[in-house]
Amino acid sequence: MKVAIIGAGSWGTALAMVLNDNQHNVSCWTIEQDVIDDVRNHGQNSKYLPKIPLSKEINFTMNLNEALDEAEVIVNAVPSQVTRKVVPQVTDIIKDSQSIWVTLSKGIENNTFLRISEVISEVGNIPASQIVALSGPSHAEEVSKKVPTAIVASSSNIDTAHFIQNMFKADYLRIYSTDDIVGVELGGALKNIIALAAGICDGAGFGDNTKAALMTRGLVEINRLGVKMGAKSKTFAGLSGMGDLIVTCMSQHSRNRYVGEQIGKGRPLSEVLDEMVMVAEGVKTALSAYQLAKRENVEMPITEQIYLTLFENKSPEKAMYDLMTRVSKVEDWG
C-alpha cells in the first residue's frame, strides 16, 4: 500500500522502516532540509535516529503533494501540539479521501483538552472510524534495530484497528488491537507526566523506592482520569498503560524522564528544553492534564505537583514533601 508519514522524527522514521520491510510504498514528509540532506547524502536520519541505515526505497521529501500522492494510509508523526496546524495542510490536498489515519502522537492538546485523534477528526473532518491510535512501550531507537516490541492499535472501529494491526506487524513488532482508543491515547499521554516525576527522582537522588511508588500511584491517577473520560479501566493495565509507563519511566531513551532528571538536578526547564532536538510531550501535557483534572474534579496529586514544579517554580523537594505528607488513605485503584 501507499503510506504517507507526516513527520520524519525518530518514531516516524522507525515505522517507515517497519512498513518498508513489510513491502509497502512509504514516503516521509518533513520540513527539515537537514534531514533530507542527511538521508540523501549519507543514507541515515542522524538527527533523530543516528547510526541507523535507511533503505533507499523509503522516499523522504519536503513536497507534501508528492508524499500524499495516492496515499491509502496517512501516519501523523508530528508532535501533539503541532497536529492542529498540520492536518489541514494534508486535507487540503486529499479532499474527501477515504484514507485511514494513524496517529503516533502522545499528548493532550492545550486549551481544548482533546486527544490527538479528536484533533484530527475535528480539523480534518475525518470520521472517527477512519482513525487509529498506535501506542505502547516502543522507543524508536529499539524498533529501528528490530528489538522485539509489542504495541496496541486502537480505534472506535475495531475493523480499522485490525487492518492497521495486520499492516504494521512484523516478526519483531507484535501488535494487539482494541476499540478503547480513549484509554490507549490517554495512557500514552499521561504516562509522560509520571515519567517526568520518575526523572526528578533520579536527578534529586530520591531512590528506587520513591520511583516505584510514583509509578504505581501514577498509574492510579491515569486510571482515574481515564475512566472519567470514558476509557476502560483494564486498558491501563495493558501495553498502552502500564507497559508504556514502565519503559518511559525507566529507559535511557526517554525524553520525558531525561527532562525530569535535569530538573531534579536543579536546572531550569527552559534551559533543558532549549538544548533538546526532540520534543518531550509530557511538559505541555502536564498543563493540559492539570487543568482537565480540575475541570473534571479528578484527584491527581502527582500530576498537580509536576505542574507546580514545571510552571510555578516549586522545588522538587517541596513537591515530594507535600506528596508524602498528604492525609493517610486506603490504597485503591479508583
DSSP class per residue in 151-178: EEEE-SSHHHHHHHHHHH-BTTEEEEEE
- pTM as predicted: 0.96
Would you say 265 and 203 are in contact if contact means Cβ atoms under 8 Å apart? Answer: yes
- What percent of the chain has pLDDT above 90? 93
What number is the average pLDDT over the span 278-289? Answer: 90
Q: Which residue has the cell 477512519?
A: 130
pLDDT digits (tens, 9 = 90+) for 119-155: 999 999 999 999 999 999 999 999 999 999 999 999 9
Say which CATH architecture domain 182-324 belongs to: Orthogonal Bundle (1.10)
Q: Is the pLDDT of residue 252 over 90?
A: no
Q: Which of 2, 146, 169, 191 is catalytic?
A: 191
- Greater confidence (258 vs 334) lies with 258
For domain 2-180, is the CATH number 3.40.50.720?
Answer: yes
Is 294 one of the catalytic residues?
A: no
| Residue 279: predicted pLDDT | 78
Give residue for cell 528506587. Answer: 208
H or E stretch at 71: none
Least reliable range by pLDDT among 154-158, 205-209, 274-278: 274-278
pLDDT value of position 192: 95
Q: How far apart are CA 9 and CA 65, in angstroms?
A: 19
**Separation between Cα atoms, residue 314 and residue 320, nearest integer Å:** 10
Could you report the per-residue pLDDT of 208-247, keeping only the tens digit for each? 999 999 999 999 999 999 999 999 999 999 999 999 999 9
Q: Domains of the chain: which residue ranges? A: 2-180, 182-324
Instruction: Judge whether 2-180 and 182-324 match in fold.
Output: no
